[in-house]
Amino acid sequence: HAYSVAEHSLLVEDLYRVIVRDPEPRWQLAALLHDAPEYVIGDMISPFKAALGLDYKAFEKRLMAAIHMRFGLAPASPEKLEIFIKKSDRMAAYLEATQLAGFSVPEAEKFFGRPKGLDGEGSQKFHRLKPLAPNEAADLFLKKFRQLA
């Protein structure tokens, strides 16, 4: 199976909980939804975004604000939350690169940095990424979403 955005989103939310001890459920939901604009408009590589000739980042930000409001979150996330979600996303990228995309550890470290905080209690689950069937990934995502929403 291909590794899905749903699985990536679940991983980021899990990593967010490793970084932020006892987080508020609304911020866990924000972490889970961090790539929601990709669901709406698809994921595009940066050079293509630049070729569109508009401020794509601003567009994504406006779309994210609308998604947040739809699900009861503040339109703009606190800066500290954004920092923790970005850190969780980079940690996920490192794990996905080394376990699923064939990157060597030095290559992944070069692009994503070496994640800190994955050596403690409960971190073992992050060391065994395995793509799920699409319906299984969707079910897990929706279960987590319902728990947090």
Say how far apart CA 135 and CA 128 lie, in whole Å: 20
Backbone phi and psi for residue 133, each to the nearest 5 degrees, phi listed first: -60, 145
Percentage of the chain surpassing pLDDT 70? 89
Mean pLDDT of 121-141: 81
Among 46-55, 85-94, 96-105, whose mean pLDDT is lowest?
A: 46-55
pLDDT band at 57 (very low <50, low <70, confident <90, very high): confident
Reported pTM: 0.88
Contact 33, 68 (CB under 8 A): yes
Contact 123, 15 (CB under 8 A): no
pLDDT higher than 70, residue 124 = no
Tell me the pLDDT tens digit for each residue of 25-42. Answer: 999 999 999 999 887 777
Contact 141, 12 (CB under 8 A): no
